[in-house]
Amino acid sequence: MDQDSATPPPPRGSDGKSGIFQKVNAVVAGLTGLVIALGGLAAATKGIVWDKEPSEEQQQQQAVAAQPPEPAAAPKEEEAAARPILFKGDLYNDDDEKFDAGSMQLQHDGERWILTIAGEDEKYKYDELSTANKKLIVATSPDYTSTLRWPVEGGVVEESTKTSRDKWETYGKVEAAD
C-alpha cells in the first residue's frame, strides 16, 4: 500500500483551504479589526482629550456662528450698570481705509441695540447675543443677515454678513459716550 493513501488529507474548510490557512486568515482578520478599532479610538479621544483650547477669536466666531442665534437674556443689574449703553464713532471707508465715512451711534434701548447712521432716517435694530467673552458685545439683526461685534470699552466695530459668517470686516470705530 501507498504511504500517501494511509495518511488522511488535511481537513479542508468550505472555501477549500486547509485548517492551518483558515486559522492564519482568522488571526489576520482579527488583528486588522483590532488595528482599525484602536485607530478609531485614538482619533476620537484626540478630539476630546488632547486638543488644545481654541483661541479667544475662535471661541467668538463659534459663538456667533451658532445657528440660529438666540437673543441674550436681559443682563443682570450689575452688568447692565457697568456696561455703557451708548457708543458714538465713525464709519469705516473701505476706499481710503480710514474712519471718515460719516458718524454712527449704537445705543441700547433696554431691549436691543439701535444703530443710527448720520444722514439716514432709518434706524437698524440688533438683538444682543450671549457670549462667553464678557468684554465683547455681539448683536445680530432680527433677520440674521448682519452681525456686529465691538469691545465693551469701545473700539473697532466689525460686521459679519449672512453670506460670509466666518469673515469679519471693519465697520466702524466707537467710544463709550456715557
- Do 88 and 41 have their domain in common? no
Spatial distance between the Cα atoms of 145 and 80, rounded to a whole number of angstroms: 26
Dump pLDDT digits (tens) for 31-84: 999 999 888 887 777 666 555 566 666 666 666 665 454 555 555 545 555 788
Q: What is the pLDDT of residue 23?
A: 85
Q: What is the widest separation between alpha-carbon atoms in the chain?
A: 115
- Do 17 and 31 have their domain in common? yes
Question: For 10, how many CA atoms within 13 A lie in the half-sphere containing its CB?
Answer: 8
Residue of 152, 174, 136, 156 lying closest to 83 (CA atoms): 152
Query: DSSP code of 85?
Result: S
Yes or no: say if 115 and 174 are a contact pair by the CB < 8 Å rule: no
The one-letter amino acid at 178? D
Yes or no: say if 114 and 124 are a contact pair by the CB < 8 Å rule: yes
- Do 13 and 31 have their domain in common? yes
**Domain of 67?**
56-176
Strand residue runs (E) in 17-168: 86-91, 103-108, 113-117, 123-129, 136-140, 146-151, 154-161
- Do 77 and 161 have their domain in common? yes
Q: What is the pLDDT of residue 117?
A: 92
Domains in the chain, number: 2
- Do 108 and 160 have their domain in common? yes
Dump pLDDT digits (tens) for 141-156: 999 899 999 999 999 9
pTM of the model: 0.54
